[in-house]
Structure 1
Amino acid sequence: MVNMTIEELVKGYKNQEYSPVEITNKHLDQCRIYNAEYNAFITICEESALSEAKRIEATMMNNRGEHGILQAVPISYKDSIDTKGMRTTNGSLIHKNRIATEDANVVKVLKENGALNLGKNNMYEYGFGITSDNPFYGPVKNPWNTDYMAGGSSGGSAAAVAANLSMASIGTDTAGSIRVPAACCGVIGLKPTYNLIPMYGVMPLSWTLDHVGPITKTVSDLNIVMEALTKRPYKKSGKEDIKGLKIGVPDQHFNEGINEEVREIYQKALKDFERLGAELVAINMPFATESIDIATTIATAEVGYTHNELIKTSLDLYGEGAKETFDKSRSISSFEYIEALKKREIMSHKVSELYESIDVIATPTLPVPTTKLGESEVDFGHSKEKVGDCMIRYTCLFDITGHPALSLPCGITNDSMPVSLQLISNHYQEDVLMNAAHMYEKYYLNDFYQLRNSLTSH
């Protein structure tokens, strides 16, 4: 029952095959039993989830009022997203007992559409890192293999969805923090267009780069969640083919410093899109090589300002990684920060210009498969790279430019770990992006989903 997609669940409700209380209890059982294994939740909200399920069930039985498109769908939220009356820790010791006084905008919207909140997902402290190795609440473990990391900083969100603890989750993305864990855990992650989903009520990391967006099991589920979030009909607007779709394939940066197995799986995915009728077009993106430096300068400068007051009173309560970030923040000059912002404008314009001749860009989401817990470097044989730099190398450009970017599974390594494809469209063209992903899913991901369910089901 917990293996169902949102689409299947909603249909089952309509046919009265099961009740909201029954479904909520099943997911809470999963959380109680398996959260100790994956550490995907910091807080599980059993009492409030069941209370809401009972309320919705009574409404449905009496056929009162309009039912939202996520009616009685159990979801979860990254613990940097405010949920009224619930503990919202930001993955930190400083806020370990903080109770949010109102819901974030994204929570309000999903509540209005009937979504049930199961709890708050584990994350890297304040979202400062691309792993979910939290010094206070412990690391999130990958449901495919618990020796491996789930990615971050929205790692608990991705692990919860992959392990069927939650049907969907809402995360945040500043340099790749939705797409990276989605790729590590073999699920779908979307960073929408900058500011398409308001950030109100979400603890900021970098107001210039922050995005909020969904993580789901399937593209079809993503369509439903995005329709709820934006009131745009993604669920119904998709075409039935992608013939003539022009896919831009970068001829540098995104094919460099890459694991050979990931390269082969990526190239196969491109061939699969050709078989579906898409046209591959070589594109040139030399400016992408600066993306990590620019993203790091902007985010590090802004995070120091955001945490300025807390640093004055509570520095000793931060983890060592956070303290290192604050030290770097103080060393960035105003000139360097403004220069990075100007380069951001130029980069955004250059990426948008590419869509004059293409519809979608396709890259690997990550240069390598997910790494083992505790590893600090990726070994390419001839060179080594910090895990943090490696994991955002292909993702952070699109936080800088604000273009919507989606991570989609596209294969399995010989070690039985997922590999994902990143698709990027022009601003506010999530429909183009999601239709391309939907068609790939329809023809090429059935076996992947079966394997994911067999590995992560209990």
Structure 2
Amino acid sequence: MINMTIKELLEGYKSKMFSPVEVTRDYLDKIKNYNPQYNAFITVTEETALSSAYRIEENIMSNQEIGILQGVPISYKDSIDTKGIKTTSGSLINKNRIPTEDANVVKMLNKSGVVNLGKANMYEFGTGITSDNPFYGSIKNPWNTRYMAGGSSGGSAAAVAANLSMASIGTDAGGSIRVPSACCGVVGLKPTYDLIQMDGIMPLSWTLDHVGPITRNVEDLAIIMEALTKKPNVELGRDDLQDLKIGIPNQYFNEKIDEEVREIYQKAIREFEKLGVNFIAVDIPFASESINVASTIATAEAGYMHKDLRKTSLDLYGEAARETFTRSQSISSFEYIAALKSRDYMNQKLTELYEDIDILLTPTLPALTTKLGVDEVQFGKEKEKVGDCMIRYTCLFDITGHPALSIPCGATKNSMPVGLQLVANHFREDLLIKTAYFYEKEYLTDFYKKKNEIFKQV
């Protein structure tokens, strides 16, 4: 089933080619066999998953449909509450925490009939963008286990990339869906701010955090988004992109960038040009302030979120989380309010760009995926912290709340994936999905073949 899409899975259920129980057992066996290599899961919910699969199978056999995702095996980032299932947020502090209610996103997907395979590993409380976790072990990239999977939703992306889960739900306050999606060669969408409510999710920052899906392809993403938004599935069969206006940034998103990433990004631009799109050069000078603004807001709010536990259990946090909370205490109310004002300004100026363009096109990451444990990235003679580097092209859109999607656009010489970021105006997820689907159909066939060769054993 390595090449099976959600649509093909559902058609297989309908024709009785296989059953939800068979598929669930297959995925659980894969997790048992391969999770020790990737460390994508903190908790595997074998009993719950099989119970759901049996119930869904009975409904299918009696021709009762319970939702558009009936029998689809998925996973959740471990900061998302699941009733009766351990939810740690990747921290030792919550090692025994069992929520009594499902998060809003879990309730919605349960109504659509998903099977929950388990809770995905993550950076502790989402305070970092790598896949290092001091308590549950580092998440390893399925393309090459010497490399990180990205963060903080790294377990979600690794599970989907290795086909240990057909989809996973992650969160994104600075790039935490798109960064691991780019690192692991999968599709990740950060929807418009508050399109999908965060109720029942431990945020890093309530001002910046989003919840959204990570999938193996764009068609799967469209189906998951239909279940999450209750909006009819977007029409993926548009004939061409002739009238599409794509914005190419004049600055920032083409600066301090790895040359191999630049080459692959420029190749993607040429591919879109062959599809007949109209390119428009755009200025985004305010993007240069995005890391400072995002860091101020996220650090201050994270410190406040943990103010009580900090007093009694600071020594139980990992070193990186403790450093975040220490920094939060030095942020003044003036600096925090100034950052919120900048957020409003950035939102306004970015939204104005969409009077002239439909989609903004950037690389997802400025650098190649780094090896596990690497703290800095080299750009010529200049070094940059991995944490700043990996969110440099993504965090602006958490600040402004615009929907942003990462899709693979090629692989490096050492066979690691590179991501392409598409950004649309608020609530235009449909346009992102249509455009990404068309690009995927035209140019990613060879990429997916290569990926399937790498993961053919899974």
Give the TM-score taking structure 1 as reference length: 0.99
Deviations along 1:38-64, one digit per CA (max 9) or x if unpaired, are 000000000110011011101110113
Cross-structure match for 2:198: 199
Cα-to-partner distance string for 1:284-332 (whole Å, 9 max, x where unaligned): 0000000000000000000000000111111110001011111100000
Would you say 1:122 and 2:121 are equivalent positions?
Answer: yes
| Alignment correspondent of 2:37 | 37
Unmatched 5+ residue regions in structure 2? none
Find the residue that maps to 1:138 and give its secondary structure. coil
Partner of residue 5, structure 1: 5
Structure 2 CA distance for partners of 1:238 and 1:291, relative to 1, 3 Å: farther
- For 1:350-374, what per-residue CA distance to the aligned partner results, in whole angstroms no more than 9, with x for missing partners? 0000000000000000001110000
Which consecutive segments of 4 or more residues in structure 1 shift more than 6 A?
A: none
Residue 17 of structure 1 aligns with which residue?
17
Distance in 2, Cα, partners of 1:378 & 1:204: 27
Q: 1:223-302 to 2 correspondence within 5 Å? A: 223-236=222-235, 239-302=238-301
Secondary structure of the residue aligned to 1:449 is helix
Instruction: Quote the Cα distance in structure 2 between the aligned partners of 1:449 and 1:402.
Output: 30
Counterpart residue identity of residue 180, structure 1: V
CA contact (8 A) 2:14 2:60 kept: no
Contact 1:238-1:431 at 8 Å conserved across structures:
no
- Cα deviation 1:172-226 (Å, max 9, x = unaligned): 0000000000000000000000000000000011000000000000000000000
> Which residue in 2 is equivalent to 1:384?
383
Task: Give distance in 1, aligned partners of 2:66 and 2:456.
Answer: 30
**1:443 alignment counterpart:** 442
What pairs with 1:267-416 in structure 2 (closer than 5 Å)?
267-416=266-415
Per-residue deviation at 1:421?
A: 0.4
| 238 and 294 in structure 1: CA distance in 2 versus 1, 3 angstrom threshold | farther
SS at match of 2:408: strand
Pairs within 5 Å for 1:103-182: 103-182=102-181
In 2, Cα distance between equivalents of 1:173 and 1:23: 29
SS across alignment from 1:407 = strand
Answer yes or no: is the 8 Å Cα contact 2:189–2:403 preserved in 1.
Answer: yes
1:88 aligns with 2:87: yes
Which residue of the partner structure matches residue 217 of structure 2?
218
**Conserved in 1, the CA contact under 8 Å of 2:66 and 2:111?**
no
- How far the C-alpha of 1:239 sits from its partner, in A, is 2.2
Q: CA–CA distance in 1 between the matches of 2:3 and 2:81? A: 28
**Which segments of 5 or more consecutive residues in structure 1 lack a partner in the other structure?**
none
Give the AA of the match of 1:77. Y
CA–CA distance in structure 1, aligned partners of residues 98 and 23 of structure 2: 27
Deviation at 1:238, TM superposition (A): 5.2
State the number of aligned residues: 457
Distance 2:344 2:289 in 1: 13
> What whole-Å deviation, never above 9, does each CA across 1:378-400 have from its counterpart, x for those lacking one?
01222111000000000000000
Deviation at residue 254 of structure 1 after TM alignment = 0.1
Quote the RMSD (CA, aligned, Å): 0.8
Give aligned-pair identity as a percent.
Answer: 68
SS in 2 for 1:76: strand
Residues 237, 267 of structure 1: alpha-carbon distance in 2 compared, 3 angstrom cutoff: closer
Mapping of residues 410-429 of structure 1, within 5 Å: 410-429=409-428
- Structure 2 letter corresponding to 1:8: E
Quote the residue 1:46 is aligned against: 46
CA contact 2:234–2:430 (8 Å) conserved in 1: no
